[in-house]
Amino acid sequence: MSKRVSAAPVKQSIVVEAPIERAFKVFTEDFGSFKPREHNLLSVPIAETVFEPRVGGHVYDRGVDGSECHWARVLAFEPPNRVLLSWDISPRWQIETDPDKTSEWEVRFIAETPSRTRLELEHRHLERHGQGWEGARDGVEGDQGWPLYLKRFAERIAREA
């Protein structure tokens, strides 16, 4: 049995009190202001995170010493509705240079009202990061696995908010 199965994507959504154009603009232009700073592969503190607003651009962290870490490629850039990016960080926390071994994340912006926008984020194709996902799949996608875990996680976030 060598059937290739895909890993369940990470899906999240959030509703913000802002018009869709602003929601998109802030997400892309100010990405570095809300991306958790401690999450980076540089050996020095981050000076800034840059989101290049075009297909073929990158998202990269720039360290205080000028070093750069390009960890995402912009695959689609469709203001104000959608962005699609790669995730070039391997499970071993190294930059993955083989595009076939990278996952992708998509953010869709949906206007619920003129002043309210829903963001839907999907991080998918995690299986591309490595072999053997098939073996682990049952454990993380079974009824007692991720669905329950995600529910608890949501409850925990709600408590912290």
Q: Is the CB of residue 153 less than 8 Å from the CB of residue 145?
A: no
CA distance 7 to 103: 10
Q: Does residue 5 touch another protein according to CB under 8 A?
A: no
Q: Does residue 99 touch another protein according to CB under 8 A?
A: no
Closest to another protein by CB, 23 or 74: 23
Of 73, 72, 66, the C-alpha closest to 45 is 66
Phi-psi region of 87 (alpha: psi -120 to 50; beta: other; left: phi over 0): beta
Site for another protein in 115-134 (CB under 8 A): 119, 121, 123, 126-127, 129-133
DSSP-derived pairing of the beta strands 58-63 and 116-124: unpaired
Question: Which residues of the chain form contacts with another protein (CB under 8 A)?
Answer: 7-8, 10, 12, 14, 16-18, 22-23, 26-27, 30, 33-36, 38-39, 41, 90-94, 105, 119, 121, 123, 126-127, 129-133, 135-140, 142, 144-146, 148-150, 152-153, 156-157, 161
